[in-house]
Structure 1
Amino acid sequence: MYEGLNVRSEIGRLRKVMLYRPGNELLNLSPDTLGPLLFDDIPFLEEAQREHDAFAQMLRDEGVEVLYLDELVAEALDAAPSARGAFCERWLDESGLCGRAARRAVRELLDSIDDTRALVDKCIEGVRADELDLSSSQAASLADLMLTDGNAGSPLVVDPIPNIYFTRDTFSVIGEGVSINSMLSRTRRREGVFGEFMLRYHPEYGGAPQWYTSSQPHNIEGGDILVLGADVIGVGISERTSPAAIDELAHRLLWGGPVSGIERVYAFSIPHKRSFMHLDTVFTQVDVDAFTVHPGILGTLHVFELSRGGRPGSVRIRRLDDTLDVILARALGLDAVRLIKCGGDDPIASVREQWNDGSNTLAVAPGRVLVYQRNAVTNDILAREGIELLEIPSAELSRGRGGPHCMSMAFWRDPPPRMMTKVTG
């Protein structure tokens, strides 16, 4: 019944979503690699998997079909005979592996894996030096020699991809199409390879209109993209998303015709620092007329509206000087919206719980949202505001610096909420 891609709001009844269950890539994290791999700590894998399984089951209990990224990529590669070899080469290109002999050895390892799902999992897990037959006598370059040198060599030949359980970021469903995002950091650009091949070759999801491609030179990440309504999206100007990328995305959406349906793009400039990272770490929609918001951005946010200009292909930009609640109400065609503060008016609770993604929620229906259990202050405030909460255990998942919205990529939602009655229970 629910085929293809269709997302025209953040809170319409969620029907289909893509996740990734954390795997052995977390076991290849070490204190020395945390910084480059964008982690602050090493999650305990078994507990992270239990928490993620609980998250997935909560979604299923709400009637949501749960898909998994690695399974979809494997299905896509199996569907196209030439795709597997091209995928391996593209993944190697993005791996940062320079040594010719090492690249050859890694490719041989990948080719030895018959099962496609196992191949995809290996590419996510990373490649250790002890999995390869590498010795200094085989070195074809200085880069090879450094990999095999007992003093300088690393246990890892290719780093793991631990951020991949945040499926929101590498591509974004907007309407019936996708933005295949150009990630800022080298380690996350490898995630884009999985999305590219899935969206090119998968029998059900391949061939969707593309509003942006990862080959574009300007960075944009999915956590900065919020589909606010059938004809309007919000995009964060953030640490990870550049104004130039928003210019390009807006142009394609605004002039994309009925398949896009977008009439306005709102660009929200937020502070460029790790604790904020993406737009969805400082506010997400929880009901038809309500958002949870980090109070630290109120009064400092700069917002711009992009719409079609008078000439074909042109874009009109104007700065909006109203408060955030007024801007959001106008964007959604409402008289007013409620901004529910993460942590309330407690300055310590607000920054602590924003750091643990108290503002990062996933709506399964208007007024019914998944949240991290650990953000007790914010959750109590949301409940008192009439929001129904599904609390996810989150001691380990939260160590990756992303919440329920970050961990999910909606594939299909029912029509925008203003066309529906509020759903409860």
Structure 2
Amino acid sequence: MTSTTTAGRPHGADSEVGRLRTVVLHRPGPELKRLTPRNNDKLLFDGIPWVARAQEEHDAFAEALRERDVEVLYLTELLTEALESEVARNHAITSALSGLHLGDTMRSYLGRFLADASPEELTGYLTAGIRNDEVRGGFGLVTSLLASDDFLVDPLPNLLFTRDSSVWVRDRVAVTALAMPARKRETQLTDLVYSEHPRFRGTMKIHGWHHEYVEGGDVLLLAPGVLAVGVGERTTPAGVERLARQVFHAGLAHTVLAVPITQERATMHLDTVCTMVDVDKIIMYPNVADSLRAHAVTLADPAEAHADPGEMRLQVAEAEPFLVAAAKAMGIDALHQIDTGLDPVTAEREQWDDGNNTLALAPRVAVAYERNVETNDRLEAAGIEVVRIAGSELGSGRGGPRCMSCPVSRDPLAV
């Protein structure tokens, strides 16, 4: 992997379990205080979190990473620094005001208002949103007819889950395309960070927020050259196809496993079903383990495909059991499954509480929510060191340690 950082550590990752060096987090902020019983469903939260406690839990999570010599970067700090760029400011303001509900009068007023804000203030408006009763101008039909507490610019509480809006594949970053309307602006802001922040300037990007839907929670780097991508509620077959073409064209992977998952809230991403905890071990929800299947996608041999010279043809294999297809692609005898919970009922409870959603800090070391007691016991019985963190409030948006972290730098695995 090519070094693209001035901080002394190369950016990039070729696995889920290489030693973690740098990670991007988002500390819960004012955007969570914007959640109400009226809007939490629209904004994809199952409850109203106690924000102060969520911040305490997140601070403890970040400190646990620092204690393992992981550099912690905060998304809003990166965004504020990127917004020093006039190009970034203009893009951010334009995307924030693109909603058709604003009308020309309010859009014009807010455009001037945001243009006058400092980078730090602009970050606050873009992430915490702007309510109708918080503006002091732009008076027209829109502001007159909307309720005082309606949002002109929606808050982004799901910024907490930094994994979804970008994924590093070796030394390139895939800026993803988020499917849910409440999250579309997140990936646009992430794109600005990678484009305009001095630390990331020059980073080569793949995919993009304007392409077919692919979310980072669905992308697992099983091994160097092998990606598994969930296809379900958030990531579409067309998104996987485009991502596969891009990683093959750039020489970043030789196999992409397309893994259909149930389109339900409990299994919104592949990483709610399974995550890697060692080079050959995966924690997996046992209630779906027997039914989880995968299509291996590879480049077709041009001589056999009868394709035009230079045309990239994909070869899609028949579906196989996920663990079988994964082991074949990874070139190992078996990918060993560690079950969530000890029985079907416990497994269902702990899967809902993100028991599968672990963040590997190194081979055989993983961060997990402390409340998933039986799953953590099973991990330790399998030789995995578990770094336990609290998550009673952090989990209200349905995400665990992996969801809340975007690895920017991992040590490469030996191949």
Using structure 2 for the length normalisation, give the TM-score.
0.93
| 8 Å contact from structure 1 (residues 180, 196) kept in 2 | yes
Q: For residues 348-375 of structure 1, give each alpha carbon's deviation from its aligned partner in whole angstroms, at most 9, with x where no partner exists.
A: 1111111110000000000000000111
Q: Which amino acid aligns with 1:124?
A: T
- Correspondent of 2:109 among 105, 109, 118: 105
Q: 1:166 to 1:328 in 2, by over 3 A?
A: same
Q: For residues 207-261 of structure 1, give each alpha carbon's deviation from its aligned partner in whole angstroms, at most 9, with x where no partner exists.
A: 3222211111x2111100111122111100110000011111101111213xx2x
Tell me which residue corresponds to 2:65: 59
Q: Secondary structure at 1:106's aligned position in 2?
A: helix
Question: 1:292 aligned to 2:297?
Answer: no
Tell me which residue corresponds to 2:331: 333
Question: 1:122 aligned to 2:125?
Answer: yes
Aligned positions, number:
401
Q: 1:96 to 1:383 in 2, by over 3 A?
A: farther
Q: Distance in 2 between matches of 1:98 and 1:132?
A: 13
Question: 1:91 aligned to 2:96?
Answer: yes
How far has the Cα of 1:168 moved from its partner? 0.3
| CA RMSD after TM alignment | 1.7
Tell me which residue corresponds to 1:195: 190
- Correspondent of 2:254 among 263, 273, 277: 263
Q: Secondary structure at 1:319's aligned position in 2?
A: coil
Question: 1:317 aligned to 2:319?
Answer: no
Tell me which residue corresponds to 1:277: 268
How far has the Cα of 1:308 moved from its partner? 0.9
Tell me which residue corresponds to 1:82: 87
Mean Cα deviation higher: 248-257 or 15-24: 248-257
Question: 1:28 aligned to 2:34?
Answer: yes
Give runs of aligned pairs for residues 347-386 of structure 1, distance below 5 A. 347-386=344-383
How far has the Cα of 1:282 moved from its partner? 0.3
Q: Which amino acid aligns with 2:319?
A: L
Aligned structure 1 segments of 4 or more residues deviating by more than 3 angstroms: 1-4, 152-155
| 8 Å contact from structure 1 (residues 4, 204) kept in 2 | no
Q: Secondary structure at 1:267's aligned position in 2?
A: strand
- Correspondent of 2:392 among 384, 395, 404: 395
Tell me which residue corresponds to 2:4: none
Q: Distance in 1 between matches of 2:316 and 2:204?
A: 25
- Correspondent of 1:224 among 209, 218, 221: 218
Q: Distance in 2 between matches of 1:228 and 1:334?
A: 11
Tell me which residue corresponds to 1:422: none
- Correspondent of 2:178 among 158, 183, 187: 183
Tell me which residue corresponds to 1:236: 230
Q: Distance in 2 between matches of 1:86 and 1:270?
A: 35
How far has the Cα of 1:287 moved from its partner? 1.1
Q: Distance in 1 between matches of 2:247 and 2:378?
A: 36
Q: Which amino acid aligns with 2:199?
A: E
| 8 Å contact from structure 1 (residues 36, 187) kept in 2 | yes
Tell me which residue corresponds to 2:305: none
How far has the Cα of 1:298 moved from its partner? 1.7
Q: 1:201 to 1:302 in 2, by over 3 A?
A: same
Question: 1:211 aligned to 2:210?
Answer: no
Q: Which sections of structure 1, spanning at least 5 residues, go unmatched?
A: 420-425
How far has the Cα of 1:405 moved from its partner? 0.4
Q: Distance in 2 between matches of 1:411 and 1:86?
A: 24
Q: Distance in 2 between matches of 1:273 and 1:360?
A: 16
Q: Distance in 2 between matches of 1:153 and 1:237?
A: 40
Q: Distance in 2 between matches of 1:30 and 1:104?
A: 28
Q: Which amino acid aligns with 2:289?
A: L
Q: Which sections of structure 2, spanning at least 5 residues, go unmatched?
A: 1-6, 303-309
Tell me which residue corresponds to 2:3: none
| 8 Å contact from structure 1 (residues 362, 370) kept in 2 | yes
Question: 1:249 aligned to 2:250?
Answer: no
Q: For residues 283-331 of structure 1, give each alpha carbon's deviation from its aligned partner in whole angstroms, at most 9, with x where no partner exists.
A: 000112211001121222231011111234111111232x333222222
Q: Which amino acid aligns with 1:101?
A: T
| 8 Å contact from structure 1 (residues 55, 392) kept in 2 | yes
Q: Which amino acid aligns with 1:195?
A: T
Q: For residues 147-191 of structure 1, give each alpha carbon's deviation from its aligned partner in whole angstroms, at most 9, with x where no partner exists.
A: 2xxxx5544322211001100001111111121111111110010
Tell me which residue corresponds to 2:136: 133
Mean Cα deviation higher: 375-384 or 14-23: 375-384
- Correspondent of 1:40 among 42, 46, 50: 46
Q: Secondary structure at 2:243's aligned position in 1?
A: helix
Q: For residues 87-110 of structure 1, give each alpha carbon's deviation from its aligned partner in whole angstroms, at most 9, with x where no partner exists.
A: 2112222x5542222223333332
Tell me which residue corresponds to 2:160: 165
How far has the Cα of 1:4 moved from its partner? 4.9
| 8 Å contact from structure 1 (residues 305, 318) kept in 2 | yes
Q: Which amino acid aligns with 1:297?
A: V
How far has the Cα of 1:134 moved from its partner? 4.7
Q: 1:302 to 1:338 in 2, by over 3 A?
A: closer
Q: Distance in 2 between matches of 1:329 and 1:202?
A: 38
Using structure 1 for the length normalisation, give the TM-score.
0.90
